[in-house]
Structure 1
Amino acid sequence: MRLTIILGVICLLNACGGAPQQWQGYCFPRAYLTPDIQSDDSNFDSASNYGPTVFFEGEYIAKQVDSFKGTTADPLFGRVYNHLQIISSTQAIEKQLSEEHSLTQSEEIPSLYFDKQSKYDWYAYTRGDNGYEYWGSCMIDGSGDSKQGYSCMRQLTQNGLSFTYDVDFINLAAYPQIDAFIKRQLTQWRCE
């Protein structure tokens, strides 16, 4: 009986803990990694410039970022869970602004400027010291009249690496705090 309990605890500790995933000077705790990163299954896609994908539940983020909504009401599905999945890469996406006059300032988030070359998807920029800088890309994700909205793939750079996450328009105004949360986590996860 004791042996069964001890073996069970050991198995549980190995599944939840184990050696962290090392990548580019970071040691990612296995508890936050997506299943594809922890699998030896060759059916998962892979690319040489991508690193681990980190996952945080929405309720956890809401405790760390006051203005983040971990769940939101949805007329079709009742409740939508706003989790964060962060994709790491050694290569950042670089999009040069085609023409400055094509930008429109976001009504909800004045620090963002949208380059709407399509009504379905568009690029977002912020104004930096050297002009406009690529912030991410956005796309419509509504379901007709019952849910108007969009989501954006935010590209955050840290130490020359790219960390991209999807953020729903409900939480878009919280992106500076989400960025700060991610940077804090990355600082904590630096390998010693």
Structure 2
Amino acid sequence: MPRARRTTRPEARREEILEAALELFAERGYRGASLALIAERVGLTQQGLLHYFPTKERLLVEVLALRDERDTAHLWPHGGLDALPAIVELNTQRRGMVQSYTVLSADSVTEDHPARDFFTGRYERLREAVAAMVREDPGVVLPEGMSAEDAAAMLIAVMDGLQLQWLLSGGDIDMTGVVRGALALLRRSP
């Protein structure tokens, strides 16, 4: 008697692949997590995985989007600006993902990079969201001539720059503490 073949809806299979890739990119980084390894984790061949995600770059972009979606859902709605250190703290637990993000975001500045549109849109949305948090925070006192949009760009630059320094220092930088300090500077009375 033939074995019953397991069937999985394409949407469920895509989600399963994204989950496996998220775990492996976080554990091993982008370069250390091969498509073959990701495919193996979900019971597919590499060719089968490529049916769902035609390139490794496309898979990583979708994993980064999933990570952003989850971070936003869990941390942003309730925390205002105080969600930023919480996100940074969460990132200290996923070094491989931070490394992948840092490398891919830097690479995406080239015109033909497959993740360029993702990062361009991501930074636009992030600046808008953080600027809204700055405007809504009653404790924030911006220096003369600084807009909420400028403050948002500065906070994002601090966070991304800290990630790079943290990676290069082997984790010796207290990213969460520095982000809390940057927020304290914005909340100081003039």
TM-score past 0.5 threshold: no
TM-score (norm 1): 0.26
Greater relative CO, 1 or 2 (CA 8 Å, sep 6+): 2
TM-score (norm 2): 0.26
Larger proportion of helix:
2
Larger proportion of strand:
1
